[in-house]
Amino acid sequence: MPATVHVVARFVAKAGKEDALKAVLSALIAPTRREIACYQYDLLASPTDPRDFCFVERWDSDRSLDLHLDTDHVRHMLAQVEGLLEAPPDIRRYRIV
């Protein structure tokens, strides 16, 4: 069985776009948590920087994560965040050591 994949996906809003970005990212939670291979999908907000958001995710495999990234809800989110982000999302995959 492949090792579980952990993901940290950071999104930083442009100044004044915090609420709009939060709404777009929050819309991903319910459909993503319904995906069979998703073990964890939590959206976090920085307590010190209201522009800084981060998903902490755990997936059953790289393939499951790749399939998630190709879903309609992720493609829709990526189209919606255009113009809301300070920089491109920083999405990183990890495995337990």
1 within 8 A of 88, measured Cβ to Cβ = no
Q: Give me the domain span that covers residue 25.
A: 5-94
84 within 8 A of 13, measured Cβ to Cβ = yes
Rounded CA-CA distance 64/66 in Å is 5
pLDDT of residue 3: 80
* pLDDT per residue as tens digits for the range 40-96: 999 999 999 999 999 999 999 999 999 999 999 999 999 999 899 999 999 999 999
Task: Identify the CATH number of the domain in which residue 52 sits.
Answer: 3.30.70.100
Rounded CA-CA distance 53/21 in Å is 9
The total number of structural domains in the chain stands at 1
CB burial of 47-58 (b: ≥16 within 10 Å; e: otherwise) equals eeeebbbbbebb
pLDDT of residue 21: 98
Residue 1 has pLDDT above 60, yes or no: no
76 within 8 A of 34, measured Cβ to Cβ = no
Nearest C-alpha neighbor of 68 from the set 57, 82, 79: 57
pLDDT of residue 2: 62
